[in-house]
Amino acid sequence: MKITHTARRWLAMLAAALVLTLAACSASTTDSFPAMGGDGAAEAPAADMAEAAPEVLREQGDQPASDDGSMLIVNKTMRLQVAAADEAVDEIRRLAAAREGSVTDMEVASDDGWVYARDGEAGALRGWVVVRVPAAGYDAFVADVAGLGEVLSQSEASSDVTQQHVDLSARLANLRSQEERLRDFFDAAENVEEMLLIEKELGRVRGDIESLDAQVKHLERQAAMVTVTIHLTEPDSVVSPAGESWGFREAVTNGLRGAVALLNGAVAFVIATAPVWLVGLIGYFPVRAWLRRRRATVDTPAAD
């Protein structure tokens, strides 16, 4: 296929634009580049926009505010002793809803099995609840939960994703600027061949933009919410939970079970050794008869 002089000129311009864009992407976040606007004015540097992103998010209330402007993903773990674990779970749900949070995982069970029951014989209950609350109400929520019982232990882990967010935001701004340049080239194209070439490059850039945009939004959502895991325990009872049995019934039951187990073992032993004693029993009678005949033969001459 013959390429016209005009097509070669546009391809050269497109290649030069791509080289300049790649150079801008590999530069540090303090570098800037001119962006083509409708009035010819230059846009703000992409790195400056990315560095300003955490501040903008804090103003909008979408991420936890910190003194140094960092973006943190926080995970909190608490261990509480409460009077009733099932009632504490209901109260935690109410507190989470009051702080615009939600319960994502929950389980309550007795000591002798993960069976939720209050039958008087299940013993103390244990459980855990995972809550996601907005970072703005995180401290107040933790204080409310601590008031439900005695705090046995607590820990907190945070991951700083500020630099990752800045890098992704800068790359995203560069790609969007590149998209705008390609659209200008597309509008200025003189034939279908040039339009197809530019449209193909636009599709690739648009795919990269959507991928980076999803990563940035994921980081922002993670930083905007704090994960709080609450382990609940109840005090162990001194006597039986029902307060009526001291173990006599269990002792009788265990004794009967032992006697049945012993009887079962004896029956199993007899059946297992049956071939041995059956062979011995079959051979016993012929040997006994032969011994009697021999004794009779010996006793007869002696009598004569």
pLDDT in tens, 193-214: 888 998 899 999 999 999 999 9
Q: What angle, 0 to 180 degrees and rounded to 10, lies between the N-to-C axes of helices 5-26 and 192-224? A: 20
Range with the largest mean pLDDT of 48-62, 147-161, 252-266: 147-161
What single-letter amino acid sits at 31?
D
Confidence band (pLDDT; 50, 70, 90) for 266? confident
Contact 236, 146 (CB under 8 A): no
DSSP letters for 7-76: HHHHHHHHHHHHHHHHHHHHS-TT-------TTSPPPPPHHHHHHHHHHHHHHHT-S---TT---EEEEE
Rg (CA), the chain: 41
Q: What percent of the chain has pLDDT over 70?
A: 67
Mean residue pLDDT across the chain = 75
DSSP letters for 66-113: -TT---EEEEEEEEEE-S-HHHHHHHHHHHHHHTT-EEEEEEEEETTB
- CA-nearest of 151, 117, 114, 140 to 242 is 117
Contact 75, 156 (CB under 8 A): yes
pLDDT at residue 208, as a whole number: 93
Non-local (6+) Cβ contacts of 57 within 8 A are 63, 71, 220, 224
Model confidence, pTM = 0.51
Residue 63 confidence (pLDDT) above 50:
no
Residue 120 confidence (pLDDT) above 60:
no
Q: In what order do the strands lie in the sheet with 150-160?
A: 102-110, 125-134, 225-233, 72-81, 150-160
Q: Can you tell me the mean pLDDT for 70-74?
A: 87
Confidence band (pLDDT; 50, 70, 90) for 299? low
Q: What percent of the chain has pLDDT over 90?
A: 29
Three-class SS of residue 159? strand
Non-local (6+) Cβ contacts of 172 within 8 A are 50, 209, 212, 213, 216
Residue 55 confidence (pLDDT) above 50:
no
pLDDT at residue 34, as a whole number: 34
Q: Can you tell me the mean pLDDT for 220-225?
A: 88
b/e burial code for range 44-78 (CB count within 10 A of at least 16 → b): ebbbebbbebbeebbeeebbbebeeebbbbbebbb
- Phi and psi dihedrals of 234, rounded to 5? -115, 155
Instruction: In whole angstroms, give the CA distance from residue 262 to residue 186.
Output: 92
pLDDT at residue 113, as a whole number: 55
pLDDT at residue 103, as a whole number: 92
Contact 55, 165 (CB under 8 A): no
Three-class SS of residue 187? helix
Residue 51 confidence (pLDDT) above 50:
no
Higher per-residue confidence, 120 vs 70: 70
Q: Could you report the per-residue pLDDT of 93-114, keeping only the tens digit for each? A: 999 999 999 999 988 887 655 5
Residue 231 confidence (pLDDT) above 80:
yes
pLDDT at residue 148, as a whole number: 92
Residue 35 confidence (pLDDT) above 70:
no
Residue 242 confidence (pLDDT) above 70:
no
